[in-house]
Amino acid sequence: MMKILVVDDESPILTLWQRFLERWGYQSDTAADGREALDLIRAGAYHLVITDLAMPNVTGQELLRTAKSEQPDLQFIVTTGYGTIEVAVETMKAGAFDFLTKPINFNHAELVIAKCLESVNAHQENLMLRRKNRDLEELNELKEKFIAITSHELRTPVGIISNIVELLTPELKSHPGESMFRLISRSSQQLNEIVGQMHELSRMNSAKLVLARAPFELHILCREIMDELKFVLDKRKHRITMIFPDKMTVTADRLKFKKVVRELLQNAIKFTEDGGEISIKAAIDEGNVLNFSVSDTGIGIPQENLDKIFHLFYEVGDSLHHHTSKDEFLGGGMGVGLSIVSDIVKAHDGTVEVVSEVNQGSRFIVHIPQNTAVGNA
């Protein structure tokens, strides 16, 4: 509740003020002069002081100056007889919100007070928002630091485990514990993948993406990815078609573009039932923009989620039922892939869009201008 202090050396006026303020729903105290008012201000939490100017001891102006220097957010409305309007204007310059001339027109006073307290409210909300914003920024920094440190610290041990497991694989072919070992191998691969994505993410966060653009053959790049995903593709039996000319050349940062294609393809595989169809299309339009798309006949994405899937850590599914897998049908990731795709495409001055229908399939389309100078950072 808003708390108001009224200061006047004429007690009938104070009584009048108190009646009106109570009627308007404000809590109020009164002081008979500036000195008493200062004591009350220092002791209590007021939002507004309504003060007469001409008072014995400490005058209204002195009260305003001293109180404002101690509590800059405290608002003042000064009351004054006609003779002292210039003084009232001076007090406005010293930070008063408004002034009321005596005899007080209480209808007008009600409006002025409401306006003043509205500005107090707005100011407080503003302060609160700024504080919250600062807290959010700190939290974000902490989150980024956490991801950076964990991914950095996990990379080496996880990498060592994966390498050793890979080295031991041939030796354990006919060992009785081979099936368990395969489980270890798969888990360590998954761990490696997750740590890799976390690392990639924190690298993207901390540094502006520097691109090494150069022309390359799209066909070869797609073939490389299919080879890397061979194990998954054999298992899930999707039909993948590439619809673009054999020798088609694309200009982009090859490594980063490969990451885009791999993420889109992996998602298409993950979210399309076994044996579904996936097609990769590419064409350069008359504006010299590469239009590259990956379409699937999978589960699709509900319309209301379409703009959220590019957000970091966003997954359409319930995270409580999350299970990490990059090759199973509906296998979850960390909700990082599309955010990385979007960052890479943006760095290429491009855009990415998605068209999708539930149970029909999804199509992710990447547009990347081709006329940018080669090797441009």
Alpha carbon distance, N-terminus to C-terminus of the chain: 57
Specify the DSSP element, H or E, that contains 139.
helix 106-168
Question: CB 270 → ligand ADP: shortest distance, Å?
Answer: 6
Q: Which stretch binds ligand ADP (CB under 6 A): 24-32, 40-48, 138-146, 312-320?
A: 312-320
Of the candidate residues 34, 276, 333, 350, the single one contacting ligand ADP (CB under 6 A): 333
User: Does residue number 309 form part of the binding site for ligand ADP (CB under 6 A)?
Assistant: yes
User: Cβ 251 to ligand ADP, closest distance in Å?
Assistant: 25
Question: Hey, which residues between 74 and 113 contact ligand ADP (CB under 6 A)?
Answer: none
Determine the interface stretch with ligand ADP among 92-100, 165-173, 181-189, 294-302 (rule: CB under 6 A).
Answer: 294-302
Pseudo-torsion of CA 364, 367, 368, 371, nearest 10°? Answer: 160
Q: How many helices (H) and strands (E) does the chain have?
A: 10, 12
In the complex, least distance from residue 301 CB atom to ligand ADP, rounded to whole angstroms: 5
Cα distances (angstroms) measured from residue 209 to each of 54, 91, 304, 306, 360: 66, 55, 30, 25, 35
**Out of 240, 296, 352, 368, the residue judged to bind ligand ADP by CB under 6 A:** 296
**Can you tell me which of 41, 290, 338, 344 binds ligand ADP, judged by CB under 6 A?**
338
Q: Is residue 366 within the footprint of ligand ADP (CB under 6 A)?
A: no
Q: Which one of 60, 276, 332, 350 is in contact with ligand ADP (CB under 6 A)?
A: 332
* DSSP per-residue codes, 169-227: GGGGTT-TTHHHHHHHHHHHHHHHHHHHHHHHHHHHHHSPPP--EEEEEHHHHHHHHHH
- Which CB, 219 or 270, lies closer to ligand ADP? 270
Q: Which of 120, 316, 347, 365 binds ligand ADP (CB under 6 A)?
A: 316
**Minimal distance, residue 231 CB to ligand ADP, in Å:** 18
For 219-282, give the DSSP string. Answer: HHHHHHHHHHTHHHHHHH--EEEEES-TT-EEEEEHHHHHHHHHHHHHHHHHTS-TT-EEEEEE
CA–CA distance, 76 with 90 (Å, rounded to integer): 13
Q: Which residue is nearest to ligand ADP (CB)?
A: 333
**Residue 332: closest CA among 312, 318, 353:** 318
Judge contact between 36 and 58, C-beta under 8 A: no
Q: Does 301 bind ligand ADP (CB under 6 A)?
A: yes
Within 13 Å of residue 352, how many CA atoms lie on the same side as its CB? 24
User: Which residues in 221-280 contact ligand ADP (CB under 6 A)?
Assistant: 263, 267-268, 271
Query: 17 vs 364, which CB is nearer to ligand ADP?
Result: 364
Q: 26 near 2, Cβ under 8 Å?
A: yes
- State the nearest-atom distance from the C-beta of 121 to ligand ADP, in Å: 40
In degrees and rounded to multiples of 5, residue 292 shows phi and psi of: -120, 130
266 versus 370: smaller Cβ distance to ligand ADP = 266
Say if residues 298 and 361 touch (Cβ distance below 8 Å).
Answer: yes
315 binding ligand ADP? (CB under 6 A)? yes
| Residue with Cβ nearer ligand ADP (132 or 311) | 311
Give me the residues that bind ligand ADP (CB under 6 A), please.
Answer: 263, 267-268, 271, 296, 298-301, 309, 314-317, 332-339, 362
